[in-house]
Amino acid sequence: MQGFWSGKRVTVTGGAGFLGQHVVRRLRSYGAEVYVPRKRDYDLTTLDAALRCLLEHPCDMLIHAAAYYGGIGINVHEPGRLYYQNLVMGANLMEAARLAKVAKVVNIGTACSYPGYLEGHLREEDLWAGPCHASVVNYGLTKKMLAVQGLAYKKQYGLDSIHLILTNLYGPGDSYNPERSHVVAALIRKWVEAELARAPSIEVWGTGKPIREFLYVEDCADAIVLAAERYQDTAMPLNIGTGKGTSIRELVETINDLTGYAGTITWNTDKPDGAAMKVLDVSRMKAALDGWTPPTDLRQGLAKTIAWYRAHKAEADAKW
């Protein structure tokens, strides 16, 4: 990859965020010249600022990893902001990329965009088989629309772009703030704090039976950089994941083992489980990325993440 990226000018929105910082680090290690726009300089929710950013910092490739997102709290309390910021930021950047003649755009999407009723292994062809789940529609739909815009801009303007659909991420640099954290970060915080407080028990919602997929953030960054180089199909999004399902119970037991927590775990089965199984089908990813698969297994990734959280707890709890 070093030969491809050496001297390439790449703009990474969200390059200071959880995922973006790892993408930036990899690009720079391969010799790319990376620019990370900051909101204080360019408010990407306005077209003028998005275009000014790309004109003042010309690039060969734009990787759009910026997003306003979070857990259930954000979806419940800020659905309008969640919808508006993500929708207009994505639309503005695609239009600005066209006007600034950027060679290729890489849009970072989400598995939340898949139809809410679907279970099992989700294939890219299923993306338009139904509406997003009501709990995440305000975020999932805005990312889904980037795939539509990419195809429309390819047909009318010849702008090259790809759309990557990411599964659930975890790892160093994430937010552990309850309003912004997702399941892995939320569980790790709960376990570390229970250990510090010597709490006798920890409650977990549901039965633990649902199966989900978890991708270590550094592996995801590797996949994005590979796909940016090698994947060219604007018409077909590309899943990025492990293709391996893990039950919530197995996730909890692994975190429990790695933290060394000695108390008891109680399962509140009055709380809903959600879909029985949601895992991405990664057969297209393996073919497109020459057989690449994520090298970090769940236990190894969780161990690294727990160690990072313990060392940076105050920072991680306050982030975003």
Q: For position 268, what pLDDT does the model report?
A: 94
Q: Which two tokens stand for residue 108?
A: 């970072």
Q: Which residues are catalytic?
A: 139
Q: For position 13, what pLDDT does the model report?
A: 98
Q: For position 229, what pLDDT does the model report?
A: 97
What is the average per-residue pLDDT within 88-107?
A: 98
Q: For position 211, what pLDDT does the model report?
A: 95
Q: Nearest CA to 137 among 74, 75, 69?
A: 75
Q: Is the pLDDT of residue 75 over 80?
A: no
CA-to-CA distance for 189 and 318, rounded, in angstroms? 12
Q: Which two tokens stand for residue 282?
A: 């990664």
Tell me the average pLDDT of the chain: 94
Percent of residues, the chain, with pLDDT higher than 90: 87
pTM: 0.95
3-state secondary structure of 264: strand
CA 111, distance to chain mean position in Å, is 9
- Contact between 187 and 251 (Cβ < 8 Å): yes
Q: Which domains does the chain have, with CATH numbers?
A: 2-173+214-243+276-295 (3.40.50.720)
Q: For position 320, what pLDDT does the model report?
A: 67
Q: What pLDDT digit, counting tens, does each position of 240-264 carry? A: 999 999 999 999 999 999 999 999 9
Burial class (CB in 10 A: 0-12, 13-18, 19+), 10: buried
